[in-house]
Structure 1
Amino acid sequence: MVRIPVIPEAAIEEHFLRASGPGGQNVNKVESAVQLRLDLARAGLPEAILARLVKLAGRRVTGEGVLVIEASRHRSQDRNRTDARERLMAMLAKAAEPPPPPRRATRPTRASKERRLEGKAHRGGVKKLRTEKPRPE
């Protein structure tokens, strides 16, 4: 199990804004979308996790080093807020996973080479049987 680092509340900022897209009478007057901003400098993350998080986030990290997550899937502000925080935690969990070790090159064994060549010869034989032989006249 991967241990997710604890983020101090001071590093997280939330702004509420009006969600775009179609909606009823509610859409033009209720600020239900959430923009969660995590200041990576104040987050206190280890260097390795921080580097993986920045790579994982891609364009969601601003030039000032702030990770921005926007959530507007739901109609209620509270559900969007929860959704944004869950997405942040999922991103942190993925960044906290250590990368897999690099693949070590191996060489095929003699037996596996022979099996491969036998399989090719067998397949070629099957195809050769499919060819139409000329009929004697």
Structure 2
Amino acid sequence: MNCYCGTNKTYQDCCKVFHLNKGKTETAEQLMRSRYSAFVLADGDYLMATHHSSTRPIKEKKAIVKWAKSVQWIRLEVLETSKGSINDVEGIVTFNAYFFENGKVDVINEKSAFVKENNQWFYLGLSK
């Protein structure tokens, strides 16, 4: 089976590597994809660890995990990546995350900002 994030790799060869190494990805897109897989798996610890400390929603962790478990994740679609490569310190990833909730398909369309600190990527929040 392909990874939850939509690559042609297995979960073990893709996002699980990042889940085990606490989010040490090479690119912003890899981090975004691994965070999507963490939502699928309702891995609140990973979501908090990869969320930048300046915007980390610690108080919302339980609610985030509860919601992630309550929906059926369908697929991730990466629409665009700006910067966020190995040599960058910031990046933007635009994506659609499709899920099934309350009897209907819904989608999160987000343009996410990422920042690299101490050679590690973090999710910052919505891009302005």
Q: TM-score range by the shorter chain?
A: under 0.3
Length-normalised TM-score, structure 2? 0.27
Higher share in helix: 1
Larger Cα-atom Rg: 1
Length-normalised TM-score, structure 1? 0.26
Higher share in strand: 2
